[in-house]
Amino acid sequence: MARRPRIGVSARIQYGDASKRGYLKKDVCYLERAFAGWLQSSGALVYLVPDQGNLADYAADLDGLVLQGGSDIAPQTYGEEPLRPEWAGDAPRDRYELELLERFMDASKPVLGICRGQQLINVALGGALYQDTHTQLAGAALHQDTAIYDAMFHRIAIEPGSGLARLYPGVKEAKVNSIHHQAISRLGSGLRVEARSVDDKVIEAVRHTGPGYVVGVQWHPEFLAKGDPDLLDATPLLQEFLERC
């Protein structure tokens, strides 16, 4: 029996609050259950990588890395100041994930970025973000509604000849969820756009053109209902990543 791929997942971080009770006083690294379930659905073993210790050891031992979604990337991470206090982001998490990404790329291990993960890949390669797409990009559609969260959807157009087009032959447009208010404004070095939002051309998927495998998508494939013909099937994306691992 072939060894199952061992996939590291970057941690979401909940920071402790001294005014709270119990474990809420402490910093917590965590992984969403749906995210773990999606990765496990194709046979992967899933390991949460904490934001401490020698991250190069994880890159050496694991077969691939998935960057989770979550908090905003701090504007200072891409050379800007926050335009509003609520867009200040999470600089400590940025530093941890940037190093983690660097270690896995240095080790030539595959990387898949989801939502924030795609944005982090872009920033790591010298790109920049809209701090808030809806207010900074003229004509931008609303890409986030916290009241309905992953039940918000829009259509994407897949770039002809892209890696995503090869994964989904014959699919020119697809429906995905939308849970973000930041998005790529300036594309990072060596990245190719693989999909855009139909309504406003916001970048929805990227792939690194250099050696190795580094791919990012702006949607959350772990929340796409399996078997729903109206939604993009998340399985081919996951299978490609795991095959490369």
* Cut 0.85: pTM above it: yes
For 143-153, what is each residue's pLDDT tens digit?
Answer: 776 777 777 78
Report the candidate in 77, 64, 161, 92 with the shortest Cα–Cα distance to residue 127: 77
Find out whether 159 and 189 touch, Cβ atoms under 8 Å.
Answer: no
| Geometric angle at alpha carbon 47, from 101 and 93, rounded to 5° | 40
Query: Which pLDDT score, from 0 to 100, does residue 18 have?
Result: 85
Catalytic machinery residues: 115, 220, 222
Supply the pLDDT for residue 159. 97
Q: Which residues of the chain have pLDDT under 70?
A: 1, 145
pLDDT of 100: 98
Superfamily of structural domain 6-244 = Class I glutamine amidotransferase (GATase) domain (3.40.50.880)
pLDDT of amino acid 187:
98
pLDDT value at position 152?
77
The 10s digit of each residue's pLDDT in 163-175 is 999 999 999 999 9
Residues of 32-67 as b/e, b for ≥16 C-beta within 10 angstroms? beebbebbeebebebbebebeeebeebbeebbbbbb
d(CA 185, CA 122): 10
Q: Cα–Cα distances in Å, from 169 out to 162, 203, 241?
A: 10, 20, 17
Hey, how many other C-beta atoms are within 10 angstroms of the C-beta on 28?
12
pLDDT in the model for residue 1: 60
Check: CB of residue 163 under 8 Å from CB of residue 194: yes
